[in-house]
Chain A
Amino acid sequence: MADFNYRAIDDFIHSRVRLMIMSYLAAARSAEFTVLKKALEVSDGNLSTHIKKLEDVGYVLQSKRFVGKKPQTLIAITEKGDKAFKVYVESLAAMVGLKQD
């Protein structure tokens, strides 16, 4: 227990939906809002709220673009978000490791 720092558990990522967003983007690097919504199986409002929270701490970035005449929202993971996600995963892995000891 002494080796595990619970403060490393990032509260901004530590929510099921935000964790799913960060995991998906850590691999895909960026995704359209509609694609993310489909992958996470959440509502528009729910997804928007969580993306906003992640954007406020600088973990993701939203941008608008047009594909043909249709507007599209693109969400991308930032370098800060990538680092925070890695630390978060390492913290979880350390915790699982503690259990195995």
Chain B
Amino acid sequence: MDQSTEGVTASQAEADLALIRKMMSAGRKRAGIDGSHLVLWGAVLAVTFLAQYLMSTGIVPRFHIEAWVVAIVTGSIASSYLGRKMGPQYCGPNPTLTGYVSAWQAVGLTMVLYFVTSILSGETDNRTISILSSGVMGSAFFVMARVIITKPLYFAAFGWWAIMIYDAQLAEIHVETLLVKSIACVFLVLFPGLFLKRLSSAED
């Protein structure tokens, strides 16, 4: 026999929980919370930072700028493909999705603007790039965490800010920083993406 409280039975509670899961899954899909883009960019950035480290230590030939161009172009094309693939789920502009997608677009724009300007002026400063990239990544994850309210995204935000603080107190950026960034991209971008993917598929 079901345990019951004022008009609520345990079997009804189970049915309500199933309904909640179904509606939350629909809500998450609507908000575009899938994690595929984070997995993609986490992998692309981790490989690129690792390649940069190998180039800087002389293990492989130096093509620093070319490697970044290939990474950005490949990542952007794959990202557009993912966006188109997920597209039919959405009907019209979604404020939640717009909010955190804008945060990531701001990250991309900030980095590309700084990157292009520094190359054109011949004033490339690795320390500034490192501090700036960690800071904006932390900010984007913080926005995402506030919107989606998921703990791993807060960890990612604070993780990137911790790296920013570490970089800022160094007089100059060491080559090992590239290796740290590569590992950070796995733990603080790719893994949160996998977490969101699992969250999204678990509720299907």
Residues of A within 8 A of B31 (CB): 27-29
Residues of A contacting B6 in the complex (Cβ-Cβ under 8 angstroms): 6, 9
State whether B30 touches A31 (Cβ < 8 A).
yes
A63 to chain B, nearest CB (A): 10
Chain B binder among A12-20, A42-50, A51-59:
A12-20
Q: How many residues of A contact B (CB 8 A)?
A: 33
Interface positions, chain A 68-88, Cβ under 8 Å from B, are: 74, 76, 82
In the complex, A16→B22 CA distance in Å? 13
Question: Would you call A61 an interface residue if the criterion is a C-beta within 8 Å of the partner chain's C-beta atoms?
Answer: no
Q: Are the C-beta atoms of A23 and B19 separated by less than 8 Å?
A: yes
- Chain B 23-38: CB-based contact to A (< 8 A → 1; otherwise 0): 1111110110100000
Taking the complex as formed, is B20 at the interface, i.e. its CB lies under 8 A from any CB of chain A?
Answer: yes
Contact of A35 among B2, B16, B30 (CB under 8 A): B30
Partner of B91, one of A30, A38, A93: A38
Q: A36 → chain B, closest Cβ, in Å?
A: 9
State whether A26 and B10 are in contact (beta carbons under 8 Å apart), knowing that A19-B20, A35-B92 are contacts in the complex. no
B95 proximity list for chain A (CB < 8 A): 30, 74, 76
Contact check: which of B2, B27, B91 meets A99 at CB < 8 Å? B2
Closest 10 CB pairs of A and B: A27-B27, A6-B5, A23-B23, A28-B27, A99-B10, A27-B24, A24-B27, A95-B13, A92-B13, A23-B20
Beyond the given A6-B5, A23-B24, please list 5 additional residue pairs across the A-B interface where CB-CB is below 8 A.
Answer: A24-B23, A26-B27, A28-B30, A32-B94, A76-B95
Give residues in B with beta carbon < 8 Å to A.
2-3, 5-6, 8, 10-11, 13-14, 16-17, 19-20, 22-28, 30-31, 33, 91-96, 147-149
7 A-B interface contacts by CB (under 8 A): A23-B27, A26-B27, A29-B96, A29-B148, A31-B27, A31-B30, A35-B91
